[in-house]
Amino acid sequence: MAISRRLVQRFQWSASLRDSRIVLDRTWLCLSAAALAWSDYESRRRSRQSFCETEPGRSSIIKFRVDNDRPGLLSEATEVLKKQHLNIKDARISTADDSRAEHVYIVQDKLSGAGLSEDRLAQAVNQVREALRQLAAGDCRAEPWPRYCSADVAKHTTPEQGIWVSYKDGVYDITKFVANHPGGTDKIMLAAGKAIDPFWRIYQQHTGRGNALELLESMRIGDLSDPPQADDRSSCPFSTDPERHPGLIFHNNKPCNAELPAELMLDAWLTPNPVWFIRHHHPVPIMDHDQYRLVVDGVGTKSVTLSLEDLKSRFLKREVVATLQCGGNRRSELDQIEKTSGIPWGFGAMSTAKWGGVYLREVLQHCAGLSHENVEAFEVKHIIFKGLDSMEASIPVQKALSPYGDVLLAYEMNGESLPKEHGAPVRIIVPGVVGVRNVKWVGKITASQEEAQGPWQRGIAYKGFSPNVKELTGIDIEKIPSMQDLPVQSAIVFPKAGSTVELDDIEVKGFAWSGGGRGIVRVDLSLDDGKTWITADLQDGKDQAYNRAWAWTFWEASVPVPDSLKGKDITILCRAVDSAYSTQPERPEPLWNLRGLNCNCWHRVSIRHQDD
């Protein structure tokens, strides 16, 4: 359930401005998502007959209904409460029945760390009532923190009832969040009315990085009276994952998401297997290669089942050198403008390998009978790949069947058997296309009139939105095209940001790449913010076939330091031009999107020149 906290904040801020009902304290703007959840809870709570249990939970509630709200009041009232030996767990602004602003404080006893007893709660309210009234006209009251049981949670599975989940000992109203879930509405709705603990044991990125826990806590509406027992299992689903090279830059371990470090990127044109970037959505499947079977079926085909040995013995082995890049590569640069949703990749979410295997088109046409005539007759538009890890994605049938598309069923990587980490025994390689379409551990291939289901194809995960789109209410996400080919890209790998150089000629090295097989025509460098440019020398990768340049191109240049910049801070810029004469945009701001995809603006590295 990880999502950009700022996305939710901005959504709630915009909603409050439109309604003109809630005056938000900017100091506590980060809690605005919880305010709407709390408002929903209040209306439902008044209609309920009773809770499963009514005794106080781990927290208590103090409400301060004010006649005229003002900026800063929430913070000032919080300080008053702290003087009563209370821990303030949360502070929210809601709207009361009479449209007055209602400040809601979730408090605990500072000594016990638990909710207040009935007497202690009444005492606290009496002590702070007059102090609060000195801050603003209004009235103050207190309540025990609500407690629900699992049966209560199970009744809330629709937007009309409210969509509730539980996690450990908490109950959460996620109704307003569901549409913005990065994994898609369908996936999060599997947990509606249930505990999300089992789901998060699989998707451990929720607890391993980002602000998912913090965001979830902002939607808490009560305690769970019958929380699930602690998991006694001796192993987690990721316990059989392979060991990883310690040189990788890890963003997650469960599932593993790690990028190729800049220090190793230019050592070899083909990235060594152990330091290849890793992008997983689930645990690495355990597969007996002898038992592996690939099913090929769908409209316009005859269903066939192939073993690994069938692929190796019945088809000619083909080799393709291709770079794979995650759609979120360089996302961290967009995060500097405004937080997006996803892994904060640097520029290392890409790598290159020589893949060995079988052309997909030969399997589809000569084995499964998917001729061009059948494509037309049966209106086949997509080829769907389903991984043994439940990953599902698709590509257009034109790419799959093109004699120049070089789509591969790969069982080798850099001259070795495909590693378990990277999709063994068989994975799909779709050169020139966003990394997510290169499905690992592929178990089924289907010809279809429609694209794949799931969040990685039809959900928001790999779809680009305008910079002005901050939330997805009212947007038909399935009508937004899914990412396929990627735009031209380049980055400076050496020198590193923050380094100091002494020579009057700066040695600059990096890589460039473009999707769709478009080769790199040139790479330009500038030291004066784009006023003048120097063209770099293209190195490894420059001689790839026209419009089948699937791999990156290395480049380097010796850039003279102008006298005006000697002894000063210098920002080096680079931009690439591909064979379509498309070039990288100058700034990241027009590229910003809530998923942080396709960041390919000019790459910038700031260094210091030391003048002797």
At residue 422, φ and ψ (nearest 5 deg) are -110, 25
Q: How many other CB atoms are found less than 10 A from the CB of residue 145?
A: 22
Q: Is 355 helix (H, G, I), strand (E, B) or coil?
A: strand
Please tell me whether the peptide bond between 144 and the residue prior to it is cis, using omega within 30 degrees of 0: no
The token duo for 299 is 């409209």
Taking CA atoms, 118 is separated from 56, 77, 112, 237, in Å, by: 8, 21, 15, 44
DSSP string, 129-152: HHHHHHHSSEEEEEEEPPEE-HHH
At residue 412, φ and ψ (nearest 5 deg) are -130, 150
Q: Is 118 helix (H, G, I), strand (E, B) or coil?
A: helix
Catalytic entry in 65, 427, 462, 609: 462
Catalytic entry in 140, 256, 326, 599: 326
Q: Is 308 helix (H, G, I), strand (E, B) or coil?
A: helix
Residue 597 DSSP one-character state: -
181 is catalytic: yes
Q: Cα(545)–Cα(345) distance, rounded to whole angstroms?
A: 30
Q: Which of 241, 356, 361, 358 is nearest to 307 (CA)?
A: 358
Catalytic entry in 10, 120, 156, 206: 206
- Helix 5-19 to helix 32-47 angle (10° resolution) is 70
Instruction: Give the residues across from 569 on adjacent strands.
Output: 608
Catalytic entry in 10, 279, 427, 437: 279
Catalytic entry in 92, 181, 361, 548: 181
Beta strands at 500-501 and 603-609: parallel, antiparallel or unpaired: parallel
Q: Cα(603)–Cα(489) distance, rounded to whole angstroms?
A: 9
Question: Would you give the distance in Å from CA 416 to the centre of its chain?
Answer: 31
Question: Would you give the distance in Å from CA 400 to the centre of its chain?
Answer: 27
Q: Cα(264)–Cα(259) distance, rounded to whole angstroms?
A: 11
Q: Where are the beta strands (DSSP E) in 12-134?
A: 60-66, 86-95, 101-109
Q: Is 55 helix (H, G, I), strand (E, B) or coil?
A: coil
206 is catalytic: yes
Q: Which amino acid is at 495?
A: P
Q: Which of 400, 515, 408 is nearest to 448 (CA)?
A: 400
Query: Going by C-beta distance under 8 Å and a sequence separation of 6 or more, which residues neighbour residue 411?
Result: 308, 311, 312, 356, 357, 358, 417, 418, 424, 425, 426
Task: Encode burial over 489-514: b for 16+ CB neighbours within 10 A, e otherwise.
Answer: bbbbbbbeeeeebeeeebebbbbbbb
462 is catalytic: yes
Please tell me whether the peptide bond between 255 and the residue prior to it is cis, using omega within 30 degrees of 0: yes
Residue positions annotated with a catalytic role: 181, 206, 279, 326, 462
